Amino acid sequence: MLPGSSKVAKTGAVVDSDNSPRKYSRSEHNISRSQMSENALKVLYRLKKSGYEAYLVGGCVRDLLLGLEPKDFDVVTDASPEQVRKVFRNCRLIGRRFRLAHVHFGREIIEVATFRGADNGEQGDHRVHEDGRLLRDNIFGTIEDDVWRRDFTVNALYYNIRDFSVLDYTGGMQDHTAGVLRLIGEPTVRYKEDPVRMLRAVRFSVKLGFKLEASCEKALFESAHTLQGIPAARLYDEALKLFLSGKALQTFEMLRHYGLFAILFPQTEQCLAQEKNDFPRMFVAKALENSDKRIAEGKSVTPYFFLSAFLWESVQILAKEKIAQGEDDIIAYQNAANMVLSQQVKSLTIPKRVTQSMREVWLLQLRFHRRVGVKPFKLLSLPRFRAAYDFLLLRAQTGDVDIELAEWWTRFQAVGEVEQKKMTRPPRKYKKNRKKRDVTKQDSAVNSQNE
């Protein structure tokens, strides 16, 4: 805790009454400018030269301290967005309520935010919804105001370009060293203000290998349900960050543990919760493990893959019910897919182009069973074949489909055209003089091939 007497801030945080930060000089931390993006440095130096304060803040400082490569470099300053625009020619202002400056350097964008202020109510605009959610967050302030609006102490460290020191108002440096993820302020208040912070808690805890501080963890269990109030579109963006992180399996386990997964994907949770059937859990885990492995190998991953895996069992259950009621296979799966997707988008929206790919992956599963004539060749030429085949492999590995089928398709892709033609040749005409029992034997072999 900071020295000096304490008071309770608006966030419920106990803060030093004079708000003075602990300053870590250049020799007391390991952040070096050589780890930073050149463009971020240019922005910081230019702001400083123009007489403004300029800091790196947030995830980049946190990650640099760990020796990780930051995803992006966020700059904060006391210059207003308009003032920032005057400093940089390559700058665009974005956002309607809280304006941010984007400084463009080819494909890299450095985001420059003006310090956010605390609303003292003088603007006559209510900032907090009756359930505690923050509605407006658009007032400029000082660094002393800005710091308390941030989520975790380790995300509230400011790297000052003026003397290369790190300013710490919340004990973030100590938490960082101890590997603790601690919310600034009273956890239930902070989760209520913005329930997405719960997802961020899980994401950062997994990414950094930090332990959630006890009261933050306790409040997670109690507040998980408030995530329901978050717009479904915002949750999609968060889901991508969670499941395309390279540590999706661990993230999934942790989200389930806190009851957060059930809110993002209620139908999946329902399947996972069935005690008698272990397949959904094994299948989802395998899919996530696969994505993590691909990311580790530097391969691409797509959102539709993990999303189709999450919802596959729900689609299958529904489709099988429809087939039992006499619906045709393909129609049953199409209808089931529609129903499951329209239910899903109530909690977490998935863009149309993504749901389209999910449908394709699901429906192509039926076509893998057709292995005679030109059909396999047609299937092979489809753009979504590869994803559907990877999905088939996962199903085979987890007992959802016969392993022989997956092996057949693996071989079909590997062999040359002559062999492919042999593999897809219709069954031979039976010799008329063959004994009846031999014919019966062949029949069953043909049937199993056409299954």
237 classed as catalytic: no
109 binds Mg ion (CB under 5 A): no
Q: State the binding string over 308-337 for ligand ATP (x if CB under 6 A, else -).
A: ------------------------------
Q: Which residues, 126 to 185, sit near ligand ATP by CB under 6 A? A: 150-151, 155-156
Q: State the binding string over 37-76 for ligand ATP (x if CB under 6 A, else -).
A: ---------------------xx-----------xx-x--
- Residue for token pair 């959102």: 303
Nearer to ligand ATP, 72 or 327 (CB): 72
Q: How far is the CB of 246 from Mg ion (least distance, A)?
A: 16
Nearer to ligand ATP, 55 or 306 (CB): 55
Distance CA 47, CA 52 (A): 5
59 binds Mg ion (CB under 5 A): yes
72 classed as catalytic: yes
Nearer to ligand ATP, 72 or 269 (CB): 72
For residue 164 the two structure tokens come to 């290369």
Distance CA 118, CA 184 (A): 14
Q: How far is the CB of 178 from ligand ATP (least distance, A)?
A: 18
159 binds Mg ion (CB under 5 A): no
**Residue from 196, 285, 295, 380 that binds ligand ATP (CB under 6 A)?**
196
Nearer to Mg ion, 241 or 367 (CB): 241
Catalytic residue among 78, 145, 151, 168: 151
Specify burial of residue 358 (Cβ count, 10 A radius: 0-12, 13-18, 19+).
Answer: buried
Question: Are 148 and 190 contacting, i.e. CB atoms less than 8 angstroms apart?
Answer: no
Residues composing the chain: 451
* Nearest-CB residue for ligand ATP: 59
For residue 310 the two structure tokens come to 């999450």
For ligand ATP (CB under 6 A), the number of binding residues is 12
197 binds ligand ATP (CB under 6 A): yes
74 classed as catalytic: yes
Virtual CA dihedral for 399, 405, 406, 409, nearest 10 degrees? -170
Q: State the binding string over 70-109 for ligand ATP (x if CB under 6 A, else -).
A: -xx-x-----------------------------------
Nearer to ligand ATP, 200 or 322 (CB): 200
Give the three-state DSSP class for 23: strand
Question: Are 181 and 205 contacting, i.e. CB atoms less than 8 angstroms apart?
Answer: yes
Nearer to ligand ATP, 185 or 376 (CB): 185
**Residue from 53, 144, 186, 194 that binds ligand ATP (CB under 6 A)?**
194
For residue 96 the two structure tokens come to 């309607």
Q: Which does 293 bind (CB under 5 to 8 A by kind): Mg ion, ligand ATP, none?
A: none
List residues binding ligand ATP (CB under 6 A).
Answer: 58-59, 71-72, 74, 150-151, 155-156, 194, 196-197
Catalytic annotation, residues: 72, 74, 151
List residues binding Mg ion (CB under 5 A).
Answer: 59, 72
